[in-house]
Amino acid sequence: MKITRIRIFKMDIPRKDVFTIATMTLEKAENVLIGVETDEGLTGWGEASPFHALVGETQRIDLAAAQELRELLLGKNPLEISRRVQEMEAFLPHNPTIKSAFDMALYDIAAQAAGMPLYQFLGGSHRPLETDFTISIGGVEEAAEKAQKVMEQGFGAIKIKVGISDEADYRRVEAIRTAVGDALRIRIDANQGWDRMQAVANLNRLAPFHIEFCEQPCSAHDLPGMTFVSRRSPIPIMADESVFSPMDALQLIWEDAVPYFNIKLSKSGGIYRALQIAHIAWAGSRKCMIGCMSESRLGLTAHAHVGAASPAFQFFDLDSFFEHAEDPIIGGVQVEKGHILLPQTPGLGARPDEAFLNKWEEV
């Protein structure tokens, strides 16, 4: 099989609300969509959702990088995934988000060629996956109202973004716990917003609200800080910005830094490396979450297939499209009362709506 054509789209998706985390603000999803066509009539789709403050990529950077990767991959066999991944990494050692879109499209083609839904192609089973709903940094009352609505919609877990103001964070977490009672699991994510002493103080103060875990209290590169906090926190710590690659995962295990990892395709460079991280985590008795950036249901579907593929995945944060004002995807995952339903068609099982392909700029 040969790659005959690669299409690259500037995939803009408006949001219902502005999304704020400790390191950045998002007014719309500025993603990149990749369509990989083959001489055997199969087309694979992949999506990149670049979060500049986390990975150092923007839509413009990814549109430029995608054109380079297109030249690299044209004419090659899409089924030789490990070779294609290694070629992309040799050509662009960084830029994991745009590489993940190509990796996703290759896996879509391979699973279609095998006639299996992607999770099955990856050796997974259709097990229950329950996602949380993320509440961004914002007002106390609006957060409590949102939490109430999320609970009424049947979700079992809420993730609260923190890390800008200790006092406002405390009041928001308190208001959300009061609004939902003991019914929901609550996770928090500081997105590197704290130093080690501040983190230990905040986590001790927030512990009475029964927090399931806290993502990334300290700076991505402050591994000693993450370890320091993890040993003193009553709330389990999950590495997110500190774990991009399989080598990062090994380092975190060697240092005995944290019990949980958050894996995202946009950080790992795609499915191939994400599963390697999950295998390392499993070998090191660590649990993983599969998380997302601001993908449409297409990218999110790939994440859900991966989440179903390894027992290392115990937590699911696959809620990126809930706040999108448009849904440009046909097929793909559906979410009912927080439970993710995977498509059963061969491949990714998600593709863009033609009407949007005509609307988005193609490069």
Positions that interact with Mg ion (CB under 5 A): 189, 215, 240
Using CA atoms, how far apart are residues 76 and 268, in angstroms rounded to an integer?
A: 23
Q: Shortest Cβ distance from residue 188 to Mg ion (Å)?
A: 10
In the residue annotation, 240 being an active-site residue is answered as yes
Rounded to 5°, the CA angle 159-96-222 comes to 60
Nearer to Mg ion, 102 or 133 (CB): 133
Nearer to Mg ion, 161 or 351 (CB): 161
Set 99, 159, 161, 267: catalytic member: 161
Q: Shortest Cβ distance from residue 116 to Mg ion (Å)?
A: 31
In the residue annotation, 215 being an active-site residue is answered as yes
Nearer to Mg ion, 132 or 189 (CB): 189
Q: Shortest Cβ distance from residue 289 to Mg ion (Å)?
A: 9
Using CA atoms, how far apart are residues 111 and 117, in angstroms rounded to an integer?
A: 6
In the residue annotation, 99 being an active-site residue is answered as no
Whether residue 313 contacts residue 278, with contact meaning beta carbons closer than 8 Å, is answered with yes
Length of the chain, please?
363
Whether residue 315 contacts residue 236, with contact meaning beta carbons closer than 8 Å, is answered with no
Set 57, 103, 189, 241: catalytic member: 189
Partnered with residue 13 across adjacent β-strands are 29
Nearer to Mg ion, 107 or 213 (CB): 213
Using CA atoms, how far apart are residues 100 and 105, in angstroms rounded to an integer?
A: 9
Set 99, 146, 159, 264: catalytic member: 264
Q: Shortest Cβ distance from residue 142 to Mg ion (Å)?
A: 21
In the residue annotation, 132 being an active-site residue is answered as no
The residue with its CB nearest to Mg ion is 240
For every residue of 230-271, DSSP letters joined together read: HHH-SS-EEESTT--SHHHHHHHHHTT--SEEEE-HHHHTSH
* Other CB atoms within 10 A of residue 20 CB: 14
* 230: Cβ contacts below 8 Å, ≥ 6 apart: 236, 237, 257, 258, 259
In the residue annotation, 189 being an active-site residue is answered as yes
Set 62, 108, 212, 215: catalytic member: 215
Q: Shortest Cβ distance from residue 215 to Mg ion (Å)?
A: 4
Nearer to Mg ion, 54 or 308 (CB): 54
Set 240, 295, 317, 323: catalytic member: 240
Q: Shortest Cβ distance from residue 160 to Mg ion (Å)?
A: 11
Nearer to Mg ion, 103 or 317 (CB): 317
Whether residue 327 contacts residue 297, with contact meaning beta carbons closer than 8 Å, is answered with yes
Residues carrying an active site annotation: 161, 189, 215, 240, 264
